[in-house]
Amino acid sequence: MIPTHNSIAYSATPVTTYGAIALCVLAFGYQLTLGSPQVERFLLDYALVPARYTDSAFAAKHGLDRTNLVPFLTSMFLHGGLLHIASNLWVLWVLGPALEDRLGVARYVALYVLAGFAAGLLHLVTNFSSTVPALGASGAIAGVIGAYARRFPYAWVNLLQPVGIIPVFFMLPVMVFAGLWFLTQLVSGAGTLLMPGQTGGVAWWAHVGGFLAGWFLVGRLAQPAGPAEQARDAADSLMWPWHWWSRWMGWWWRR
């Protein structure tokens, strides 16, 4: 399920969301300029490789400093392919601005980075001896999903679910969407513990860690919503499905 719109309006320019997107795009562009041996070295240095911290022989063989925690940060801005970066940044584009608007730049940055660190830490714990570089913004963005759901429990999201080649659009309350999304990550992550090595290239436990961090951190970082803000968000969210349906039917009728 791919979110395309949400019911929470925002007023401030989401500079941090745009900045995170820009950094990811720039890093991905730089990766594309590297040859195969250079990319391998680059990912060893800046992606999150669990064995770097858990296997002294591996770290020594590749000249890696086991005390260097920079990869926990830099891995959040690296991606493994066009679909990987596009899917991650699209979700950030849809859900990030409203959350940034309510938290403010400093708190939003703190939530994003701390969720990313939590994602990396849980990935390290659950993939203790892995030599495969883990990279991507999805752990931090999982934190945005968790924080968004807790901060805006009345919100709705419009979702795209491809069925074969047919795009199907539908709406769900954000708590339902976030719950289903988290359950998928948790079940898939549990499957990797039962069948080690069968991750399918997805860091499921990083998503779990990021989501939980975002869910719990937003309660400490966000200023409590006042009665007026709660009423406005609830009213917008309750009316949004009707507004969305009206616009859709109007577009269909004009055809």
The two structure tokens encoding residue 75: 């891995």
For 199-231, the pLDDT digits (tens) are 557 889 999 999 999 999 998 887 666 665 665
Higher pLDDT, 112 or 244: 112
For 79-112, the pLDDT digits (tens) are 999 999 999 999 999 999 999 999 999 999 999 9
> pTM to 2 decimals?
0.86
Please determine, for residue 44, whether its predicted confidence score (pLDDT) is greater than 90: yes
Higher pLDDT, 62 or 193: 62
Helix ranges (DSSP H) in the chain: 15-32, 36-46, 50-54, 56-61, 70-74, 82-103, 105-126, 138-151, 174-194, 204-221, 227-254
* ∠ Cα 231 237 241 (to 5°): 150
Average pLDDT score over residue span 65-73: 95
Domains and CATH numbers, the chain: 2-254 (1.20.1540.10)
Higher pLDDT, 195 or 20: 20
Query: Minimum mean pLDDT among 3-7, 13-17, 240-244: which range?
Result: 240-244
For 141-200, the pLDDT digits (tens) are 999 999 999 999 888 898 888 888 888 888 889 999 999 999 999 999 888 777 655 555
At 45, the pLDDT band (50, 70, 90 cuts) reads very high
DSSP tag of 11: -
The β-bridge partners of 48 are 134
